[in-house]
């Protein structure tokens, strides 16, 4: 199976002049991330792919619902794998910032303009111990389900690896997430910078958010390792749910 992250995660950061007045970078998540492969075998993957092709042809609305739910569940699973307990992962809900479909600037969006429906977005927060020793937000992730494409048979098709990597659509999603994070910081819901993760289709952008600088790529780059991960054990999952419940009660 092709690793859909390689084209985006391993981009070298453009050279730039160092600004000695820049604030110190916030604590980071791991620089090496795991790309979980949930399939037992290539045959299992091909079977699911064939089944979804049939659903996309014969039941388009069902196809959309399945893909949307799958994108959200896969995003949370990715976070559970890369930020295991004692990290706490919370679902914050829909992204309130409009994501235009015509590459229009977000601030220029008006009622009636074509945008990603808010129901096709989801935002997650990861809380854990930061490098400075404090407990706080170490990562934020936004999932965007892009518009569905029709295939040659007239049905809907799954997004392809690399389809949104380094595209204007991904950049627009990054800008929307940046606006969301800056708003959270200004309202003191976010105390400092964190790792920012944007997933669109099967592509992903992982960058660094700092309140002063906005979005920047990691200086040393990022690598993704494909690994078979079928899911958290029941004991680990129960521990995560218990921590979330306790935190929400405080």
> H or E stretch including 234?
helix 234-249
Beta strands in 7-79, from DSSP E residues, in sequence order: 32-37
The predicted structure's pLDDT at residue 10: 33
Average pLDDT score over the chain: 79
More reliable by pLDDT, 237 or 171: 171
pLDDT per position as a tens digit, 77-125? 999 999 999 999 999 999 999 999 887 788 888 888 889 999 999 999 9
Please state the rounded mean pLDDT for residues 200-217. Answer: 90
Q: Map tokens 């800008």 to a residue.
A: 175
Going by their DSSP bridges, the two strands 88-93 and 121-129 should be labelled as antiparallel
* pLDDT higher than threshold 60 for residue 65: yes
Statement: residue 4 has pLDDT above 50: no
Q: What is the pLDDT of residues 120-169, one digit of tens each?
A: 999 999 999 887 778 899 999 999 999 988 776 667 888 888 999 989 89
Instruction: Give the per-residue pLDDT at 157.
Output: 86
Distance (Å, rounded) from C-alpha 63 to C-alpha 6? 27
Question: Token match 């400075």: residue?
Answer: 132
List Cα–Cα distances, 202 to 3, 79, 145, 244, in angstroms: 10, 15, 9, 27
pLDDT single digits (tens) 161-183:
899 998 989 999 999 999 999 99
Query: What pLDDT is stored for residue 181 in this prediction?
Result: 95
Domain ranges of the chain: 25-249
User: Is 50 exceeded by the pLDDT of residue 212?
Assistant: yes
Give percent of the chain with pLDDT exceeding 90: 42
How confident is the model at residue 191, as a pLDDT?
A: 86
pTM of the model: 0.76
Return the pLDDT at 197. 96
List, in order, residues 6 or more apart from 156 with CB less than 8 Å away. Answer: 56, 57, 60, 63, 64, 148, 149, 150
What's the pLDDT at 127?
Answer: 95
pLDDT given at position 170: 93
């Amino acid at each position: 199976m092709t690793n859909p992250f390689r084209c985006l995660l391993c981009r070298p950061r453009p050279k730039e002049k160092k600004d000695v007045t820049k604030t110190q970078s916030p604590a980071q998540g791991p620089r090496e991330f795991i790309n979980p492969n949930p399939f037992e075998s290539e045959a299992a993957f091909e079977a699911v792919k064939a089944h979804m092709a049939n659903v996309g042809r014969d039941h388009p609305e069902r196809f959309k619902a399945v893909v949307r739910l799958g994108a959200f569940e896969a995003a949370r699973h990715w976070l559970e794998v890369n930020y295991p307990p004692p990290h706490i992962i919370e679902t914050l809900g829909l992204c309130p910032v409009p994501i235009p479909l015509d590459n229009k600037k977000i601030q220029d969006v008006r009622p009636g303009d074509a945008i990603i429906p808010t129901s096709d977005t989801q935002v997650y927060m990861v809380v854990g111990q930061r490098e400075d020793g404090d407990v706080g937000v170490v990562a934020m992730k936004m999932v965007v389900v892009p518009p569905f494409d029709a295939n040659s048979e007239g049905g809907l098709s799954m997004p392809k690896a690399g389809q949104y990597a380094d595209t204007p659509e991904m950049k627009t999603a990054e800008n929307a997430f940046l606006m969301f994070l800056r708003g959270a910081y200004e309202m003191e819901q976010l105390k400092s910078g964190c790792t920012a993760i944007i997933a669109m289709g099967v592509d992903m952008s992982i960058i660094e958010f700092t309140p002063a600088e906005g979005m920047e790529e990691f200086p040393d780059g990022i690598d993704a390792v494909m690994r078979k991960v079928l899911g958290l054990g029941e004991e680990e999952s129960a521990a995560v749910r218990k921590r979330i419940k306790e935190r929400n009660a405080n």
